[in-house]
Chains A and B, each alone.
Chain A
Amino acid sequence: MPSAPVAEVAHRLAMRARWRPLEYAFWLAALASVFLLPGRHLILTEIAWLALFALSLDLILGYAGIISLGHAAFFGLGSYLAALMAKYGIISEPVLALLVSGLCAAILGFATSFLVLRGSDLTRLMVTLGVALIMREIANQIPEITGGADGLQGVTVAPILGLFQFDIFGHVAYAYCLTVLFVLFLLARRIVYSPFGLSLRAVKGNPLRASAISISVNARLVAIYTFAAFYAGIAGALLAQTTAFASLDVFSFERSADLLLVLIIGGTGYLYGGLIGAVIFKLMQDWIANLTPQYWQFWIGLVLVLIVIVGRGRIGAWTAAAQAVAEPVTRRFARGPMAAAYPSSAGKAGEGMPGEGH
């Protein structure tokens, strides 16, 4: 029989992890888009893998506080592996190939995570950037395997689970990407609300104090970095499988930089940031690219500069406002027998979720 404080802590954690109405609404909307927006499935597919990629960055940036300018290294590795496996029929079944690509990216993430552990933010920036550049250079230097600067062509992706063949309208691709995104999101959500996820936040808040309460800081960082690399590898593999193509572009610096923008638009440190950011970023990119096909990068840059000048905190306040609107509704839904026993805890359940990380 646990003591009362332990029970209350456990209860509060359970309250924090509870699904909120807005979350149901978000995923219902995503599901509805499969049936209601068949003409937009190509861009929606892009949004889905970008969202997964941004989710991966959020895990290390928003939860563990590691700044990375080279997250494309894992994305690119996953992308090339998936394309190669499909092209040479090593593992032709896409879901299995997806897992293998993700695991290989995780191995690279594990190997390079030790470089990220030490040093300041600046050193981390340099190391992550360096790793991505080295990966790009490797892909560039072995054209007989990767196709070099021309990219890897002639990839044919087998039907998913032997049943669903990819079509040119992207219907199957979108359903596939969305399913993968949802499954991995559930996993990430589980991890973030677990004691492990809480310890990560402690590490982000203050590594020294975290280690003083016997959290092994380095082991946590290695674990989450490896895990995020796995996600990034899967996102890359999704790109390769849905486009049946892989090129050096997957490793580029711009990809890592754009990813930061995606995450910053949506907000860091609450899992939906990457997802919402991906939707806004892709729609914005699509819109700007229609206006000025060649120079859309200028406007992306302007958005970045404005975000920093205005302040990320104020942009995060939007999501906080949305959360505040949803909060009374949540509380009503959440009022169970336990909530009656601990009336104070229900009100605090959602606190610290949207605003953290700003």
Chain B
Amino acid sequence: MLTILFDGIAYGMLLFVLACGLSVTLGLMNFVNLAHGAFAMAGGYITLILVNRAGVPFSAGLAIAFVVTALIGVVLERTLYVHVYGKSPLDQVLFTIGLVFMSVAAVDYVMGSQQVFIQIPSALEGRFEIFGIGIGRYRLLIIVICGLLTLALQMTLSNTRFGSRLRASVDDARVARGLGINVNAVFTLTFAVGSGLAGLGGALGAEILGLDPTFPLKYMVYFLIVVTVGGTSSITGPFAASLVIGIADVAGKYYVPKFGAFVIYTIMIIVLILRPQGLFARAPGR
């Protein structure tokens, strides 16, 4: 029971790190980035190449995955995404679906279509028991890393100048511009960090979620659910949503395997029925 809770929390934390970038970009620019999972996949494959083929230590692999994915994010944002911000949601959806298709086929071409695993250090394998709760070492690591990241994000948002600029831009981009905040620069930086976090999440999660070229399509729904259920105005909303969905998914697959995948879809539909306007609604005056 508690083991499932533990696994669910690890899974939820991972989802949060994967999806928080998406939630911020959606809130900041009202931009539907269905290709967010492609960045996660990029991070996963970068770590795979570094760790499995080049023999780089796992921790260094994770750090490099973050940096490289963030760079890819900046380049794509400045060259491609910037053309699409002003367009209709339909255009944004078409554009990002196109990117997903391209990334899936390109990774398939370069890396092959089979599922791959990153070699994790042997110290992280296996599990131990505390008070009768089975705790996987790797999952514990995920919780620790993701927990620290969440704290760091929250601190950055609430206590730094950049954080207040970001919050101001999310609240009302036009007024923020009027106050002299360079919203575009804020957005590029946020996009980069969000992509980097997705890359880190993809690298960390390869062990649990699996990694193959269809990753962006498979998990796109999960990211979107996190964002829909959690809202886009803060990072605490998506955080809570990630934990709920992570725990519900793991528990659902364990207790009622027959209906495993229904659980989260049903949660999503119910939330959307109850709060259809509230989820993506903008604050008054925007």
| Residues of A in contact with B (beta carbons under 8 Å apart) | 61, 67, 69, 115, 118-123, 125-127, 129-131, 133-134, 137, 141, 253-254, 257, 260-261, 264, 294-298, 300-305, 307-309, 312
Contacting residues, chain B, for A126 (C-beta < 8 A): 224-225, 228, 268, 272
User: Please, what's the 1-or-0 string for B228-242, where 1 marks a CB less than 8 Å from any CB in chain A?
Assistant: 100000000000000
15 examples of A-B residue contacts, CB within 8 angstroms: A119-B280, A120-B281, A122-B89, A125-B93, A127-B269, A134-B266, A253-B217, A264-B94, A297-B104, A302-B98, A307-B98, A308-B83, A308-B95, A309-B80, A312-B91
Of A119, A141, A302, which contacts B258 at CB under 8 A? A141
The verdict on B153 contacting chain A, using a C-beta distance below 8 Å, is no
Contact B84 A308 (CB under 8 A): yes
Within 8 A of A (CB), among B181-237: 217, 220-221, 224-225, 228
Q: Given A122-B32, A122-B89, A253-B217, verify A129-B224 contact (CB < 8 Å).
A: yes
Contacting residues, chain B, for A129 (C-beta < 8 A): 221, 224
Contacting residues, chain B, for A119 (C-beta < 8 A): 272, 276-277, 279-280
Q: Which residue of the partner chain B has the closest CB to A302?
A: B102
User: Please, what's the 1-or-0 string for B72-116, where 1 marks a CB less than 8 Å from any CB in chain A?
Assistant: 000000001001100101111111011111111110110000000
- Tell me how many residue pairs across A and B have CB atoms closer than 8 Å: 127
CA distance A225 to B40 in the complex (A): 35
Contact B101 A304 (CB under 8 A): yes
Contact A308 B91 (CB under 8 A): yes
The verdict on B273 contacting chain A, using a C-beta distance below 8 Å, is yes
Contacting residues, chain B, for A298 (C-beta < 8 A): 101-102, 104-106, 109
Contacting residues, chain A, for B175 (C-beta < 8 A): none
Contacting residues, chain A, for B261 (C-beta < 8 A): 133, 137
CA distance A307 to B248 in the complex (A): 39
Further pairs besides A119-B272, A126-B224: 19, Cβ < 8 Å: A67-B93, A115-B272, A120-B280, A120-B281, A122-B32, A122-B89, A125-B32, A127-B272, A130-B265, A134-B269, A253-B220, A257-B101, A264-B94, A297-B104, A301-B101, A301-B105, A305-B102, A307-B98, A308-B95
CA distance A260 to B225 in the complex (A): 22
Q: How far is the CB of B188 from chain A (nearest CB, A)?
A: 19
CA distance A248 to B279 in the complex (A): 31
Q: How large is the interface on B (under 10, 10 to 19, 20 to 34, 35 or more residues)?
A: 35 or more
The verdict on B259 contacting chain A, using a C-beta distance below 8 Å, is yes
Q: How far is the CB of A89 from chain B (nearest CB, A)?
A: 29
CA distance A125 to B223 in the complex (A): 13
Q: Given A119-B276, A298-B106, verify A133-B221 contact (CB < 8 Å).
A: yes
Q: How far is the CB of A206 from chain B (nearest CB, A)?
A: 15
The verdict on B254 contacting chain A, using a C-beta distance below 8 Å, is no
Q: Given A125-B89, A127-B269, A127-B272, verify A297-B280 contact (CB < 8 Å).
A: no
Contacting residues, chain A, for B272 (C-beta < 8 A): 115, 119, 123, 126-127, 130
CA distance A187 to B249 in the complex (A): 45
Contact A261 B280 (CB under 8 A): no
Q: How far is the CB of B118 from chain A (nearest CB, A)?
A: 25
Contacting residues, chain A, for B109 (C-beta < 8 A): 294-295, 298
CA distance A294 to B113 in the complex (A): 10
Within 8 A of A (CB), among B104-161: 104-106, 108-109
Q: Could you say which of B217, B272, B277 has the most chain A C-beta atoms within 10 Å of its C-beta? A: B272
Contact B98 A305 (CB under 8 A): yes
Q: Which residue of the partner chain B has the closest CB to A261?
A: B94
CA distance A69 to B97 in the complex (A): 11
Contacting residues, chain B, for A127 (C-beta < 8 A): 269, 272
Q: How far is the CB of A111 from chain B (nearest CB, A)?
A: 12
CA distance A300 to B258 in the complex (A): 35
Of B90, B98, B225, which contacts A303 at CB under 8 A? B98
Q: Which residue of the partner chain A has the closest CB to B268?
A: A130
Q: How far is the CB of A106 from chain B (nearest CB, A)?
A: 20
Contact A134 B262 (CB under 8 A): yes
Of A121, A134, A294, which contacts B89 at CB under 8 A? A121
Contacting residues, chain B, for A307 (C-beta < 8 A): 94, 98
CA distance A308 to B93 in the complex (A): 10
Contacting residues, chain B, for A294 (C-beta < 8 A): 105, 108-109
CA distance A121 to B88 in the complex (A): 10
Contacting residues, chain B, for A300 (C-beta < 8 A): 98, 101
Q: How far is the CB of B84 from chain A (nearest CB, A)?
A: 6
Contact A67 B89 (CB under 8 A): yes
Q: Which residue of the partner chain B has the closest CB to A140?
A: B261
Q: How far is the CB of A304 from chain B (nearest CB, A)?
A: 3
Of A131, A254, A308, which contacts B94 at CB under 8 A? A308
Contacting residues, chain B, for A305 (C-beta < 8 A): 80, 95, 98-99, 102
Q: How far is the CB of A215 from chain B (nearest CB, A)?
A: 21
Q: Which residue of the partner chain A has the closest CB to B83?
A: A309
Contacting residues, chain A, for B99 (C-beta < 8 A): 301, 305
CA distance A115 to B279 in the complex (A): 14
CA distance A303 to B98 in the complex (A): 7
CA distance A264 to B80 in the complex (A): 20
Contact A297 B101 (CB under 8 A): yes
Contacting residues, chain A, for B277 (C-beta < 8 A): 118-120
CA distance A355 to B92 in the complex (A): 20
Contact A130 B269 (CB under 8 A): yes
Contacting residues, chain A, for B87 (C-beta < 8 A): 308
Contacting residues, chain A, for B276 (C-beta < 8 A): 118-119, 123
Contact A295 B105 (CB under 8 A): yes
Q: How far is the CB of B95 from chain A (nearest CB, A)?
A: 4
